[in-house]
Structure 1
Amino acid sequence: MENRRPDTLAGMANGSGSIRRRRLGIELRELRTAKGLTLDEVARRFTWSVSKASRMERGLVPVSPRDVADLVKLYGVDDPDHADALVAMAAASRQRDWWHKFDDLLPRQFSVYLGFEGDAESIHTYQSLLIPGLLQTEAYARAIFRAAQPGETDEQINRRVEARLLRQTIVKNKDAPRLWAILDEAAIRRGVGGRDVMREQLAHLASSSKQPNITIQVIPFRAGAYMSMDGGFIILRFAEAEDPDVVCVDIRTRSLYVDDPAEVRRYTLAHEQLLALAATPDESIKLIEAALEEMR
């Protein structure tokens, strides 16, 4: 492998802790592969578990500068500037982002995802039953968390709502990513939290659709059954070529972060099929407004 220039690596140290860890992991994997070593061999060399070595290369865990220094020696990185740049990337990747104060509530994989989401150029989300988190009102989010976490205290629910609202700031910033949300009509018809909460939520959807960076499309009931109606997912795309697409899938107990190119491609194809089924943005707003009218 041709080593990257240290100044290029320095530029790759920009972004959230998650994106930095991912870029560092890609660098380490390329160096290991060029050296002809397997993950098992690296793990044995440092008495690590293979799982730890794998998580480091996938960017799922912070990597200590000491571990990176040991790895670049093993991989034969003889350019001191290159080695120093990799160690600096490790140090930068250990920064604590805003969501880490909610680590006791958020699944670890979802915390990793939030870092990617914050650096995404575009966010493509599909939900079959609920309004996407980035478009939820405070009252709607609170009703969802109370239903999903019945044993939690008011304080815990309040902190979940706080995290949800902080997350939404990314689509309101000056340099906000493009948000493309596809919803099943069930999501706008389900009476979460009662009529008042849903009226506010539907009005918020209609208002959000007017933002230049947000597109909302609804798959109407008349579309019948379709392939992805059994669960939602989010696809993130990035401006930098070295940052491949990422998919996040929520299940009952945790969030799955997917970056395998073949799996990502399957979700991309599913998203394209959803776009073909969905009503146009203008027709979708009419569906939302009709649902809102029925809530009055």
Structure 2
Amino acid sequence: MAPVPAELPADDSAEDVTRRAGEQPVDLFAVARDGRPTALRMMLGARLRRLRVAADVDRDAAAREIRRSPTRISRMELGQAGVSQNEVAALLGLYGVVDEAEQRTVLALAAQADVKGSHQSSDLVPGWFEAYLGLEEAASVVRCYEAQSIPGLLQSEDYARAIIRTAHPLASPGEIERRVRLRMARAQLVHRAEPPRIWAVLDEAAVRRRPGGAAVMAAQLAHLLALCRLPHVSVQIVPFSRGGLAATGPFTILRFAEPALPDIAYVEQLTGAAFLDRREDLDAYTTVIDHLCLQALSPTQTIRFLTGLLESPEL
């Protein structure tokens, strides 16, 4: 059996993080009115606050430096207001940040937080899913369980097209293609310069079903195998022979590199989604995915399983 992924640290709920930081809770589910990725703003704001406190600079002094109000500084640090790259550069100077690597990192985060994501401003993306995509883009770890299909981040183009056609039977061909382009843009998260750690547990049914036919599924399995060999991607299959599963449906747990942001359990439904960050909820979902990892084939065994399936005449 596969070991539970020990490298993942203990979970913190929003309440726990707030207690530790001595601040009001961050609202990870707020979507900025102008469509900016709110989670990235929160990461930037938390880092700027940490640098300000370390430099023993109060909010009034920071506000004077960039000709803003102290209230605006507070909102920036909570991720509730945007901050330009020029303002970030000025604050870094005030805070005495001379390390070039630190400067580049913070300025790059400012640039990323100030750009609309590829999924944003699309009439095809409901608000609740747009909120999730912003969080997914900002996550450092993505752990997910899927029972019926390959996770969106790991889908090939033709497989995604087949899945989308099934999910939207009344959509026009043009709309289908727009949805496919959006999904493929989202999948580029796996290949970016600093990608998140992706750990996916799949029921065997997800790799046995053949949306689009045998050729489409063969290409999807080959794509999945290629992703499995990336150092930041782990896939585990729970074979039918392992009996009952600990989960009753798909879900995702997101973790963020910034300590001020709590973990999130995301459970998608037909017309909406639940975003959970309470300790008891996170404990429950983390326990389930840990048990699924124990039930599943190891990542190495999964590669052998998928290779055998791809080579099988039954495909």
Deviation of 1:252 after TM superposition, in Å, equals 1.5
Unaligned runs of 5+ in 2: 1-13, 35-57, 64-69, 83-112
Deviation of 1:32 after TM superposition, in Å, equals 6.9
Q: Looking at both structures, which has the greater relative contact order when contacts are Cα pairs under 8 Å and sequence separation is at least 6?
A: 2
Higher mean displacement: 180-189 or 244-253? 244-253
Deviations 1:21-60 (A, max 9, x none): x9xxx79xx7779xxxxxxxxxxxxxxxxxxxxxx94542
TM-score when normalising by structure 2: 0.68
Deviations 1:187-244 (A, max 9, x none): 111111100000000111111111111111100111111220x311111111111111
Task: Tell me if 1:168 matches 2:158.
Answer: no
* Distance (Å, rounded) in 2 between the aligned partners of 1:132 and 1:154: 23
Deviation of 1:175 after TM superposition, in Å, equals 0.7
- The corresponding residue for 2:151 is 132
Task: Tell me if 1:254 matches 2:269.
Answer: no
- The corresponding residue for 1:46 is none
Match for 1:60: what amino acid?
A
* Distance (Å, rounded) in 2 between the aligned partners of 1:240 and 1:246: 13
Deviations 1:238-278 (A, max 9, x none): 11111110121121222322222321221111111101101
Query: Does the 8 Å contact 2:265/2:285 carry over to 1?
Result: yes
* Distance (Å, rounded) in 2 between the aligned partners of 1:86 and 1:173: 31
Query: Does the 8 Å contact 1:181/1:215 carry over to 2?
Result: yes
Query: Does the 8 Å contact 2:29/2:275 carry over to 1?
Result: no
Unaligned runs of 5+ in 1: 1-21, 34-55, 65-77
Equivalent position to 1:100, from 120, 124, 127? 120
The 3-state SS of whatever aligns with 1:257 is: strand
- The corresponding residue for 1:237 is 255
Task: Tell me if 1:277 matches 2:265.
Answer: no
Q: 1:203 to 1:31 in 2, by over 3 A?
A: closer
Deviations 1:67-119 (A, max 9, x none): xxxxxxxxxxx9544422124443318863321132x2222111111111111
Match for 1:257: what amino acid?
F
* Distance (Å, rounded) in 1 between the aligned partners of 2:223 and 2:207: 12
Deviation of 1:62 after TM superposition, in Å, equals 2.6
* Distance (Å, rounded) in 2 between the aligned partners of 1:200 and 1:57: 40
* Distance (Å, rounded) in 2 between the aligned partners of 1:63 and 1:173: 26
Match for 1:90: what amino acid?
Q
Query: Does the 8 Å contact 1:110/1:256 carry over to 2?
Result: no
Match for 1:290: what amino acid?
G
Higher mean displacement: 267-276 or 244-253? 244-253
* Distance (Å, rounded) in 1 between the aligned partners of 2:139 and 2:241: 33
Query: Does the 8 Å contact 1:107/1:255 carry over to 2?
Result: no
Q: 1:79 to 1:281 in 2, by over 3 A?
A: closer
* Distance (Å, rounded) in 2 between the aligned partners of 1:210 and 1:61: 35
After the TM superposition, which residues 81-96 of structure 1 pair with which residues of structure 2 at under 5 Å, given as runs? 81=63, 82-88=70-76, 89-92=79-82, 96=116
- The corresponding residue for 2:227 is 208
Deviation of 1:156 after TM superposition, in Å, equals 1.2
After the TM superposition, which residues 1-296 of structure 1 pair with which residues of structure 2 at under 5 Å, given as runs? 57=27, 59-62=29-32, 80=60, 81=63, 82-88=70-76, 89-92=79-82, 96-102=116-122, 104-228=123-247, 230-294=248-312, 295=314
* Distance (Å, rounded) in 2 between the aligned partners of 1:262 and 1:86: 30
Q: Which has the higher helix share?
A: 1
Query: Does the 8 Å contact 1:109/1:257 carry over to 2?
Result: no
* Distance (Å, rounded) in 2 between the aligned partners of 1:211 and 1:222: 27
Match for 1:169: what amino acid?
Q
Between the aligned residues of both structures, percent identity stands at 35
Q: How many residue pairs get matched?
A: 233
* Distance (Å, rounded) in 1 between the aligned partners of 2:27 and 2:150: 34
TM-score when normalising by structure 1: 0.72
Match for 1:291: what amino acid?
L
Query: Does the 8 Å contact 2:148/2:205 carry over to 1?
Result: yes
* Distance (Å, rounded) in 1 between the aligned partners of 2:251 and 2:29: 20
Q: Which runs of 4+ in 1 moved over 6 A?
A: 30-33
Match for 2:81: what amino acid?
A
* Distance (Å, rounded) in 2 between the aligned partners of 1:162 and 1:84: 37
